[in-house]
Structure 1
Amino acid sequence: MDIRNIADHIFKSQPFSQFLDANLKVISANEVEIDIVLGEQHRQQHGFAHGGVLSYLADNSITFAGGIALMGDALTSEFKINYVKPAQGERLIAKAIAKSVGKKQAVCVAEIYCIHQDREYLCAIAQGTVIKI
């Protein structure tokens, strides 16, 4: 099985990803992209995407990027997120890469973008450590 098929299988086996209607858009040795088409169920009281949805995208994209870099099953051991701009629009996209890879852990970075009226803008940045299990 190639990397795309393995990643698709893992992603489809995640009930929470399915619950959020998330999509694994790009998977390669260097990059991961996960997106969500924003519905009312993804928003908070002001109409912005809920921080928990952005955190999910950061966590899951970081874990996939780390798992690929470590060439194995992986878990996030920690991550930090900075919300830099309220996310309002039609879609969120998380783009993650591994920045440093060792034998048992990888440090990864994710940028979460919001698409609003065909414009893409940065709404959050996250960094996390992923461990091979």
Structure 2
Amino acid sequence: MELSTAQKALAEQPFSVLLGARLTAFGDGAAVLELDVRPDLLQQNGFLHGGVLSYAADNALTFAAGAAAGPHLLTAGFTIDYLRPARGRVLRARAQVVRAGRSRVVCRCDLLMVDEEGVESLCAVAQGAISTVGGADGA
């Protein structure tokens, strides 16, 4: 699968469209998902909400797995560790495959906030397992 095909798959996810997510890199067992920070995505202290970070980790992990194992995948589970408050103008989730097996792909993801000058700062890390499924219907 190439970047344009992966971008089309992302565009078919209503929640991703709602958040304004975009896939900026895809291939060789890696993926980068980005979204612009908006006021409606912040929590009460003005930081990007942890649920948005979790969404980005989940999707980036699964797209990275797809770059190695194809399109028929589902997240089996993931963990996320929040390292510092997420402040910046863009969230960048950079994921890569650690190991691709026949039925499960393990990936890790760095969640970075990008400031006005383009400087990245790591705010969370995630690791997940992505399961392969039989076909488009999940059977």
**Pairwise TM-score range, normalised by the shorter structure:** over 0.9
| Offset from partner CA, 1:41-75 (integer Å, 9 cap, x none) | 11000000000000000000001111221123111
Q: Distance in 2 between matches of 1:113 and 1:5?
A: 23
| Offset from partner CA, 1:83-130 (integer Å, 9 cap, x none) | 001001111100000101101110000000001232210000000000
**Amino acid aligned to 1:124:** A
SS in 2 for 1:46: coil
Q: Which residue of 1 aligns with 2:65?
A: 66
**Amino acid aligned to 2:51:** G
Q: Which residue of 1 aligns with 2:137?
A: none
SS in 2 for 1:86: coil
SS in 2 for 1:67: helix
Q: TM-score, normalized by length of structure 1?
A: 0.95
Contact kept, 8 Å, 1:25 with 1:34, in 2: the verdict is yes
Runs ≥4 in structure 1, deviation > 2 angstroms?
A: none
**Amino acid aligned to 2:127:** Q
Pairwise CA RMSD: 1.0
Q: Which residue of 1 aligns with 2:114?
A: 115
Cα deviation for residue 25 of structure 1 reads 0.7
Q: In the alignment, does 2:107 pair up with 1:132? A: no
Identity %: 36
Q: TM-score, normalized by length of structure 2?
A: 0.91
**Amino acid aligned to 2:2:** I
Q: Which residue of 1 aligns with 2:17?
A: 18
**Amino acid aligned to 1:47:** G
Contact kept, 8 Å, 1:67 with 1:132, in 2: the verdict is no
Q: Which residue of 2 aligns with 1:39?
A: 38
Cα deviation for residue 8 of structure 1 reads 1.6
Q: Which residue of 2 aligns with 1:30?
A: 29
Cα deviation for residue 31 of structure 1 reads 1.8
Pair 1:67–1:30, CA change in 2 (3 A): closer
